Amino acid sequence: MTEATYIKDVHTIAIIGGTGKEGKGLAYAWAKAGYKVLIGSRQQEKAVHAAQELNELLATIPDVLQVDGMTNPEVCQKSDLNVITVPFSAHVDTLTSLKPYLAGKILIDVTVPLVPPKVTKVQMPEAGSAAQEAQAIVGDETPVVAAFQNISYENLLENKDVDCDVIVCGTGKEARGIVISLVEKTGLLAWDGGPIENAVVVEGLTSILIGLNKQYGVESSGIRITGIEK
């Protein structure tokens, strides 16, 4: 894949399946940072309702662009970059149906391959990781970058410093660099975790964090990279 083939100047971000908790958390964080955010859903009514909820939360913040809700194909067509936040059970079908609308744009995959009821057990797909599964589906025209797997939506919706880093793994160093910049626009610290094959580690950590949350009665355990100044 030639990296020059995709959009690099990101102004509008589409969140596929953005009506869930993680999608709304990311939408809130990027809208606060000044981006135009579009919430996508299979059902337009759900997308519009989620956008209205977010606009109410953002109402007191100056110079924020309004969040809009529409169907998944519509948001993909209007975006500079796409983010998928659907449950793993919907991952393959969603990407397969949207493939024509994703070409030429970076796809941030937030999906974790959780398989209920044993969500504290690491269970990776045949492709190796959800991100690799996504790359196999969308093809070389769409660089896939994994990010945000280890941060809870509660942290994204809170207006305070977050004690958690974000490791970014994906296809192409330049694509990872763009995503790292977008992560840091939300106020989080991001690290280049290398190629997409490394996403297996980041995605697998989520099950461990869920287990820690349950054991210690918390909601938002996270990770930190230490020993490096940035």
Is there a domain that residue 3 lies in? no
Is there a domain that residue 14 lies in? yes
What's the chain's average pLDDT?
94
Is there a domain that residue 81 lies in? yes
Banded pLDDT at 87 (limits 50, 70, 90)? very high
* Res 78: pLDDT: 98
Is there a domain that residue 224 lies in? no
* Res 230: pLDDT: 80
Banded pLDDT at 158 (limits 50, 70, 90)? confident
Between CA 77 and CA 30 the distance in angstroms is 19
Is there a domain that residue 44 lies in? yes
- Domain that residue 36 falls in: 8-216
Is there a domain that residue 73 lies in? yes
Is there a domain that residue 227 lies in? no
- What is the count of structural domains for the chain? 1
Q: For residue 167, is pLDDT > 60?
A: yes
Q: Domain with 148 in it: what CATH number?
A: 3.40.50.720
Neighbouring-strand partners of residue 12: 36
Q: Which positions ≥6 away from 48 have C-beta within 8 Å?
A: 69, 70
pLDDT-above-70 percentage for the chain = 98
pLDDT (tens digit per residue) in 196-218: 999 999 999 999 999 999 999 99
pTM of whole model > 0.85?
yes
Is there a domain that residue 86 lies in? yes
Mean pLDDT for the stretch of residues 103-120: 96
Top pLDDT among 30 and 163 is at 30
pLDDT (tens digit per residue) in 56-74: 999 999 999 999 999 999 9
* Res 152: pLDDT: 81
Could you tell me the strand order of the sheet in which 144-146 lies?
68-71, 36-41, 12-16, 81-84, 107-109, 144-146, 165-170, 189-192
Q: How many CB atoms lie within 10 A of CB 150?
A: 19
Top pLDDT among 230 and 18 is at 18
